Amino acid sequence: MEGRSHLLIGLTAGVILDSVVHLTGSPLLGATGITLGLIVNKAIYYTMVGFGALLPDIDNARSTLGHKLGWVSKEIQHLAGHRTLFHSLLGLAIGSLMAPGLEQLITYLLAQRGYTLPAQFISASHLVFFAVLFGCIMHIAADAMTEGGVPLLWPNRKRFGFPPNPHWRFRTGTWPEFVIVWSFMILVGVGIYMSIIVV
């Protein structure tokens, strides 16, 4: 799937997730006291969901993120191949295990230099983790709808997809991709509109 589609699907799904579990605090629509902290939280959340939605294609030098990273992506694609570790459950698990470690390392290094971290930084870093993880999951789910499918159980090479029959899935960059992305956005938009009317 194209980077632009991943970004749109990830961000739209991010709106749904936030409206259900309120990761970033109370919703902006209808909120009585909009604080700077709330806006900063939302900005961090959506930036990171967007980043996560593009991240798995770090293994493709020709992808949106791959273009930005240049040789880093070329190396990863050369070593791992496109749609391998970065599109699998193992990749998600390794990433999730590394995240708290990374968080602790940064906290430790800063503390050693005499910077004591405000609790806000710690909670913001949890928000970053959940947002990136959610973006990645949405990326893999969206790729599962393409002809190629995704190797969820990599290093096992079996590709999974939805619908299970690959002939019913679409090829990246063709019109069904456009239709799916826009239908999803319109449905969510209508859902939000309806919920405002009802309230």
Shortest Å, Cβ 148 to Zn ion: 9
CB atoms inside a 10 Å sphere around CB 32: 5
Shortest Å, Cβ 24 to Zn ion: 26
Distance CA 179, CA 104 (A): 43
The 3-state secondary structure of 4-51 reads: HHHHHHHHHHHHHHHHHHCCCCCCCCCCCCCCHHHHHHHHHHHHHHHH
CB atoms inside a 10 Å sphere around CB 36: 7
Residues that bind Zn ion (CB under 5 A): 56-57, 143
Task: For 57-72, give the DSSP string.
Answer: GGG-TTSHHHHHHTHH
CB atoms inside a 10 Å sphere around CB 1: 22
Shortest Å, Cβ 62 to Zn ion: 11
- Closer residue to Zn ion, CB minimum distance, 23 or 150: 150
- Closer residue to Zn ion, CB minimum distance, 10 or 56: 56
- Closer residue to Zn ion, CB minimum distance, 57 or 177: 57
Shortest Å, Cβ 21 to Zn ion: 25
On the CB side of 125, CA atoms within 13 Å amount to: 15
- Closer residue to Zn ion, CB minimum distance, 18 or 143: 143
- Closer residue to Zn ion, CB minimum distance, 30 or 155: 155
Shortest Å, Cβ 56 to Zn ion: 5
Residues forming a β-bridge with 11? none
Q: Are 146 and 172 in contact (CB under 8 A)?
A: yes
